[in-house]
Amino acid sequence: MQIKVLGCSGGIGGDLRTTSLLVDEDVLIDAGTGVGDLSLEALLKIDHIFVTHTHLDHIAAIPLLLDTVMGLRAKPVTVHATSEVINIFKQHIFNWLIWPNFNLIPDPANPFLIYHEITLGNAVSINHKSITALPANHVVPAVGYQIDSGANSLAFTGDTAGGKPFWQAVNKIKNLKYLIIETAFSNAEAELAAVSKHLCPNTLAYELEHLQSQPEIFITHLKPGEDATIMQEIAAHPTTQHCKALQHQQLFEL
């Protein structure tokens, strides 16, 4: 199994892209602006999108992707999300006001978009890979994900302020090879990080004290213009000095 980072920034500009991971050729974990770099051929291969939460930097490409491929596919695209997230999509995105309701067109019996409700801890198996929702602590309903090839796993926090439920789930993963964890703000903006339920380097260090295994750790969701400062502060702390910044177009083999 291969995972490609289509976007991992907390913003846009230049070569920055917001959050999205492409798992093999058929699954997206979130669908930020990096999805727009894919060719039409690549977009047509995406059958499943697993959503952490509905903030725009994580879902911006979903409406446009559907609009692009809807007349060229023989089957719908499936969006996997919790019931709370699905309800937000229905009420605020695919509502005919912001974007057409692809769950009803071309007709309700044969829609371009279908929803699949997921729950914490219950794996979804797709083409020899298993994807499981993990607890997340954010300002809107949110989850993280475990992506498991059978041989190895990658855990992704999504946007979160951390918390024991996430680490309890992660510490049960026996084949954890990689951990992607967000750190959106510098320590100077610790108050803003707390209010918006993101991590800063000091809270990242505290959170990682709960990790009981030794995966490679990568930092995502760095705010543009603050990325160098954030990584310097992370490197200065003994608990986090081994962490590396996630890179656009980075590849992981599981």
Q: Sheet of 143-148: strands edge to edge?
A: 123-126, 129-135, 143-148, 153-156, 176-182, 216-220, 244-245
Q: Which backbone phi and psi does 125 adopt, to 5 degrees?
A: -100, 125
Residues 65, 67, 68, 71, CA torsion sign: positive
DSSP strand pairing (123-126 vs 113-117): unpaired
Cβ(119)–Cβ(127) below 8 Å: no
Provide the 8-state DSSP code for 91.
I
Could you write out the DSSP letters of every residue in 105-136?
SS-TTS-SEEEEE--TT-EEEETTEEEEEEE-
pTM of this prediction? 0.97
Strand-pair partners of 149? none
Phi, psi of 87 (to 5 degrees): -65, -35
Residue 205 backbone phi and psi in degrees, to 5: -60, -45
Q: Give the chain's domains with CATH numbers.
A: 2-253 (3.60.15.10)
pLDDT for 136 equals 98
> What pLDDT does 30 receive?
98
Hey, what are 102's tokens? 């692809």
Query: What are the φ/ψ torsions at residue 180 (nearest 5 degrees)?
Result: -105, 120
So what's the pLDDT on residue 243? Answer: 98
At 154 the pLDDT is 98
pLDDT mean for each 10 residues of the chain (254 residues)? 97 96 98 98 98 98 97 95 98 97 94 97 96 98 98 98 97 98 97 97 97 97 96 95 97 97
